[in-house]
Amino acid sequence: MLWSRFISRLFKEAKPYLQARDDFKHARISHQYALLLMGREQGDKKIVEPAVILHDVGWSCLAPQQIALAYGVKAGGLEALELNRIHEVQGAVIARHILQTLDYDAVSTDQITLIVERHDSGTEIATAEEGMVKDADKLWRFSQIGFWKEVERQQVGAEELYRHLDKHLWTWFFSLTAKELAENELRRRAQEMRLVLPETPGHTS
């Protein structure tokens, strides 16, 4: 199968599992960031692309109220951690099932599912590919579509989300490329906030 056709097929297979948190666009945009990162740094596309497309299929195992508790600016405490862990662990199970259905090679499948299982936890990475997936996932929050989507679905103010992202800018990312992309995006979000909320003081870029 052509690689581009395989990627389209993977999006199609992942789509039903991405409905729970309305994550299809998140997967698309994170995939675009992963391509951007791979264009600038070394990374195996056979690992990075499937992992980033499939990384959030595990939200399909949680109820909407659990999802709301498990992630975002307001998430905290043991319950949030446990629920978040479920989306990683179950996501790895579902990702393996999808890849096996498509006859993907076993060694790559093991590496991909390991990344899915760790994508939102830990501050260490085992491979460059894991770092790229984690960076591409986080970059979504800084993107125009991602930022305003998160304002809406987390029910937080744009300023609050902006401050949260600004605080984590220098701790979340593994590559300098991702940090720079995030910083540039955040500057654009600050400009948009001045347009949307012109009376709100205190935005910094």
Residues that bind Fe ion (CB under 5 A): 56, 120, 137
Query: Is the CB of residue 90 less than 8 Å from the CB of residue 61?
Result: yes
Nearest CA-CA partner of 139 in 14, 20, 42, 32: 32
Q: Which is nearer to Fe ion, 56 or 185 (CB)?
A: 56
Q: Which is nearer to Fe ion, 56 or 129 (CB)?
A: 56
Q: Which is nearer to Fe ion, 34 or 193 (CB)?
A: 34
d(CA 196, CA 55): 32
d(CA 198, CA 194): 5
For 77, left (φ over 0), alpha (ψ -120 to 50), or beta?
left
Type of residue at 195: L
Residue 62 CB, shortest distance to Fe ion, in Å, is 11
Q: Which is nearer to Fe ion, 43 or 146 (CB)?
A: 146
Q: Which is nearer to Fe ion, 130 or 137 (CB)?
A: 137
| Burial (CB count within 10 angstroms: exposed 0-12, middle 13-18, buried 19+), residue 39 | exposed
Residue 20 CB, shortest distance to Fe ion, in Å, is 11
Residue 70 CB, shortest distance to Fe ion, in Å, is 9
